[in-house]
Amino acid sequence: GENVEQHPSTLSVQEGDSAVIKCTYSDSASNYFPWYKQELGKRPQLIIDIRSNVGEKKDQRIAVTLNKTAKHFSLHITETQPEDSAVYFCAASETSGTYKYIFGTGTRLKVLA
Amino acid sequence: KAGVTQTPRYLIKTRGQQVTLSCSPISGHRSVSWYQQTPGQGLQFLFEYFSETQRNKGNFPGRFSGRQFSNSRSEMNVSTLELGDSALYLCASSLDWGRETQYFGPGTRLLVL
């Protein structure tokens, strides 16, 4: 079946440094790629998303890039802050008319003060 | 506008019992999806409902079922509980079927003893 691979599973960075999380998907027809942030004990929150007709999208310190040819997309967080510490999930839409999302297994980001 | 709500928030059951979880979507949202979240498996898609009809189903056994009511509220049921069913069950609502942005509820944490 379709799957989404996410790397790394854990990531520690110093406050102020950048963090990059990468995902690879298998369904070449996937056309929507959201990223969710889940803080400890809280619900996943959508932080940014990108569609297949766009190569890059930015929102303040967060950016997402998409390479459709290679079937991978990445989340970039610049000037990291302690409140960025959380688990981040990527997802890709499965587009056989069913609009199902396949999620990556998550990346635990720790920002060290 | 109130967010997605789920009840109960915590639940303890024993093997063999059954359980019903409830999800109330954001007002005006007609699509509800259910996910199982476990530490090792991330977010696994269970099913999606729209207009009281199941539109999509993940790879879970028939012990997992759901339904949606005319007011878009949804319930999921797990019969004959197994230890491996212990997880956080999240629902997410979106405006319409095929509308990508999903908003998650806080989840129901189920512990099966």
Question: First-to-last CA distance in chain A?
Answer: 41
Nearest CA in chain A to B5: A43
Q: Taking CB atoms and an 8 Å cut-off, how many pairs form between chains A and B? A: 53
The DSSP-derived string for A37-105 is EE-TTS--EEEEEEETT-SEEEETTEEEEEETTTTEEEEEE-S--GGG-EEEEEEEEETTTT-EEEE--
pLDDT of residue B56: 85
Show the low-confidence residues of chain B (pLDDT under 70). 1, 97-100
Would you tell me how many other CB atoms lie within 10 Å of the CB of residue B8? 12
pLDDT of residue B42: 82
- When pLDDT is cut at 50, 70 and 90, the band that residue A57 belongs to is very high
pLDDT of residue A97: 59
A21-24: which pairs have CB atoms within 8 A and are 24 or more residues apart?
A: A21/A74, A21/A75, A21/A88, A21/A90, A21/A107, A21/A109, A22/A72, A22/A73, A22/A74, A23/A72, A23/A73, A23/A74, A23/A75, A23/A90, A23/A92, A23/A104, A24/A70, A24/A71, A24/A72
pLDDT of residue A94: 67
Q: Of B45, B49, B103, which to mutate for an interface test with A (greatest number of A Cβ within 10 Å)?
A: B45
Q: Which of A44, A49, A100 is nearest residue B48 as measured by Cβ atoms?
A: A100
Cβ of A96 under 8 Å from any chain B Cβ? no
- When pLDDT is cut at 50, 70 and 90, the band that residue A16 belongs to is very high
Q: What is the pLDDT of residues B51-76, one digit of tens each?
A: 999 988 888 999 999 999 999 999 99
pLDDT of residue A102: 87
Q: What is the pLDDT of residues A69-102, one digit of tens each?
A: 999 999 999 999 999 999 999 999 865 556 678 8
Min CA distance, A60 vs chain B (Å)? 20
Residue A48 pLDDT greater than 70, yes or no: yes
